[in-house]
Amino acid sequence: MNAYLVERFVHLLGAFGFVAAHGATAAITFKLRKESDPTRVRALLDLSRSTRGVMHGSFTLLLLGGVGAGFHGKWWSSGWIWTALGLLIVLFAAAFPLAVPYFKALRAAAESEPPNQAELERLLRSPRGLLLAGVETLGILVILYLMTFKPF
């Protein structure tokens, strides 16, 4: 079997798993905006947290398969692959300062005894989750465009 095809398969498998886990968290982010019950907020946050292992494992497959396919396909002299890789790293790095404090604050407000309803409502209605989901989704679409059309 051709190593390039195997690496492309691993890359696409990783991309599929990453987008599936990311999509679950994005859907949860949208659902959270309509919640106010601290018990339901905690359950949704737990569900979101449960996707992290799949997301990180898939991200690893995505990178390993992509880098290998880049070498076997002789793509490293093309600008599109460097742009896509750089954008992926920026998106992954940006997700932490945008997402982690937001979800930590949500969890703290929902888990406090008694739950801090005012803070929970403020956080749930803030645009932070929408901004995060929008930026990440747009970034993934740009990477998909670069991989498909290889414009430069």
- 99, amino acid identity: A
46's tokens: 């737990």
Q: Angle CA(127)–CA(132)–CA(133) in degrees, nearest 5?
A: 100
Q: Residues 116, 42: contact at Cβ < 8 Å?
A: no
Largest pairwise CA distance in the chain: 60
- The per-residue pLDDT for range 29-55, each reduced to its tens digit, is 999 999 989 999 999 999 999 999 999
Mean pLDDT of 124-129: 91
Residue whose entry in the numeric block shows the structure tokens 């106010």: 36
